[in-house]
Structure formats: C-alpha cells, structure tokens
Amino acid sequence: MKLPSPYSVEGIVASILFIGLIGVVVLQILGRTPLLSGPVWTEEAARWLWVWMAMIGLAEVERIDGQLRMGFLVESLRRKARMTVLTAIDLVYLAIVLHLIWIGWKTIQRTWSNEAVTLPVSDALLYASGFLAMILIANRVVRRIVGLGYRQDSGGVETAL
C-alpha cells in the first residue's frame, strides 16, 4: 500500500503563493504606518494571491483524497460494494468538475478584455485560478477512477489503486 508523496507541484505552488501572500500583507501593514508609503495594489494583490492559493490548495487536497466526507453508510458496506459506491460518487463529482471547467473557460473568455483595478493584468487571470484548479482536480479524479490514483477508503483504510 503506497501513500502519495508528501510533495507535489500543487502543494509547492500553493506554499509559494502563501509565502507571497504573507509578504504582500506585511507590505500592506507597513504601508499603514509612518515607516512606509504603502502601494495601492497590495489589497487587490493579497485577494488574488489568496484566491490562487485556495484554488491550487483544493487541487492538493484532491491529490491526497483528503476531502471531508460523511461515510457512515458507506463504511458499513463490504469493501467491493464500498469501492463501487465511491467510484459512482467520483463519476458524479467528475461530471460537476467538467461542468465547472466549461464555466471557467467561458468566464475567462468573457473577462479577458477587463483590466484589474490596481494591477496591470486582465481580470481573466483571477478566474483562471478556478479553471486551472478544476483541470487539476479532474485529472486526479480520472486517475482515481481508472485505478492509477490514490484513494483513502472511507473505512479509514488507505489504499493505492
């Protein structure tokens, strides 16, 4: 039984975004003191970094199959039935994620020509976080469905498929 690696691209990127967020917030705090004249872009940049960090963090949670779940009914099933139910849940989840990818793509197209208020980038960059996160999540769910990904069995048993 092989557990997923503790390191992943998603986790590393989310951690780097978190460090960047801390730096921007510290700059914003110092900008409210007489020590430093604070740049106006820090508030918007902090929001954007937080959104990107949260979305990439969602993909990391999916990688380790660490979502919260209510499993008392599924846990009472035998292993084969439990895995069948979990796969069915993954199929519904995948359908929802694929729909969110489509919504994300349409949103990026719609906001491409909008410029952020204080940052010199398109608003589409903010919405791209959800689009990218859903693609990463879809990849992990598909891998789990076909048996190449990691699944934490709802009975508390960790299994590598």
Please name which of 13, 107, 88 lies closest in space to residue 54, comparing C-alpha atoms. Answer: 13
* Sole residue written with tokens 């489509």: 102
Q: Which residues lie across from 152 on neighbouring strands?
A: 158
Q: What is the pTM of this model?
A: 0.80
Q: Tens digit of pLDDT per residue, the chain (161 long)?
A: 456 677 788 889 999 999 999 999 999 999 888 888 878 899 999 999 999 999 999 998 888 777 777 777 877 888 888 888 888 888 999 999 999 999 999 999 999 999 988 888 999 999 999 999 999 999 989 988 887 666 665 444 444 44
C-alpha 107/C-alpha 105 separation (Å) is 5
Domain boundaries, the chain: 9-160
